[in-house]
Amino acid sequence: MKKSMDLAGELNVLGMLDKAREIYTELGEAPAVSYVRSNYRLLSKIYHPDLNPNNKEKAERMQQKINEVAQVINSMPDRELIDVIKNGTQKKPRDKWKVLVVEDEFGYQDTLRNIFTMEGFDVRVAIDGDTGYEVYKNFKPDMVLTDVLMPNVNGIELIRRIRNEDPTIKVIYMSGFFGVKRLKKELDDEVALYRYPTLSKPFKVSHLLDIVKEYLGPN
């Protein structure tokens, strides 16, 4: 059982344990096991040293950790892995920068959650502007990383709502499409007035982290 408890701790560090439990609760055992067995491959790509030339040493350490976790996962039967997901201990983060990610693309949601968790941040993810505002009120993040183009409440409208409560909130806008003229002008005005950084998808992990760390300071 020690191996299982150790794996639970590692999955928590990698940002996978909470998500696996969420999948287990909503969809059952098989999808949760599939998530844990496959997600480390994505993490391995994200932290490949060749993709992080500015943080190569740290990327190599993360690669080693991910490979060690993968070996344990691959050696475990499904039933034991389910026990880890259901019962493994986890430590709640303390004294960490709190980041809210608002993103409607599911692939980016998991990727950004994993990146921030492994970098030592306390992170929450919301799927749209409405949900993002509700999460903000309860979570009170230090920074919001939000997509611009989203249904219902877009990223700019979300930040305006948040700014009514916290005028000093730190914001990074991201989008794969700035082609909507009205939104483009609104974004340009926001950036000019508030000096918010922007990211165009797809972006390198190292570039994102450089912006975040310069913005927030060391963790």
- Which residues form the domain of 172? 98-216
Distances in Å between the Cα of 178 and the Cα atoms of 111, 135, 151, 161, 195 are 22, 25, 15, 21, 18
Number of domains comprising the chain: 2
Domain's final residue, options 87, 121, 140: 87
- How far apart CA 153 and CA 60 sit, in angstroms, is 39
Distance CA 213, CA 219 (A): 8
Band (6; pLDDT cuts 50, 70, 90): low
Segment 27-43, tens digit of pLDDT: 889 988 998 888 877 77
Find the CATH number of the domain harbouring 157: 3.40.50.2300
Does residue 145 fall inside a structural domain?
Answer: yes
> How many Cβ atoms are within 10 Å of 161's Cβ, its own excluded?
15
108 and 202: one domain? yes
Residues 109, 212 share a domain: yes
Same domain flag for 44 and 132: no
Of the three residues 30, 65, 87, the one that is the final residue of a domain is 87
pTM of the model: 0.62
In a domain, 92, yes or no: no
79 and 115 together in one domain = no
Q: Return the pLDDT at 37.
A: 86
Do both 134 and 197 map to the same domain? yes
- Domain stop point among 87, 118, 151: 87
Same domain, 107 and 167: yes
pLDDT of residue 3: 44
